[in-house]
Every structure is written in C-alpha cells, then in structure tokens.
Amino acid sequence: MRDRLQLIPAVSFAMTPARLPQSSKKVMKILDSGRAMTQKDLVKKTNLHPRTVRFALKKLKEQKLLIEKLKMDDLRQIMYQIRFTEGQKLPLAGT
C-alpha cells in the first residue's frame, strides 16, 4: 500500500487574485465601483447565497484585499471596501 502513495511536494498555495474562487471575484467586481457595501448589499448585488458571500469575504480578507469599517448609522453592520488606491485595479484573470 505504501508503494502506491505519492509524496506531494510542499508548495505554497497562497491565493493570488487569479486563484481566488469565482465568488470572491464576483464580490470584488461589485466592490470595484469604489463604494463600501454591507454583506447584505453584496448578497443582493451578486445574487449569491449569504453563506457564499461570507466565504468570498473571508477569502478576500485573508489576502488583505478588503478594508472593513463600521457602518456609522448602524454600528452592528460592517462595510467592506477594496483596499486599492485610485488608479490601481485588481487583475482578475478569467472573469
């Protein structure tokens, strides 16, 4: 049995923009407008399931591609915005 096992080399599987899940790319495309949005807004705009949007936001946060800030009129909600400066665009390959 051990003869059949193949060793997998230690490779870094860090998420680059090209390796992001499709849901994360879709969320980034919506946020590319520059406007900060809540998770609820993103669910409406992307037509994705709320759990899928949470997963997409988690992956984007892991890559430090998002800024989180509190919504001033309702401090229970978090606003999400792209972490790029003006003129800088995210290279979303395959979208």
The domain limits of the chain are 22-82
The answer to whether the predicted template modeling score (pTM) of the entire model surpasses 0.85 is no
Greater pLDDT, 4 or 25:
25
Question: Is 1.20.210.10 the CATH number for 22-82?
Answer: no
pLDDT tens profile 11-20: 334 445 668 8
Q: What is the mean pLDDT of residues 78-88?
A: 73
Q: Alpha-carbon distance 68 to 38, whole Å?
A: 10
Q: Alpha-carbon distance 35 to 16, whole Å?
A: 23
pLDDT tens profile 25-80: 999 999 988 889 999 999 999 999 999 999 999 999 999 899 999 988 988 899 99
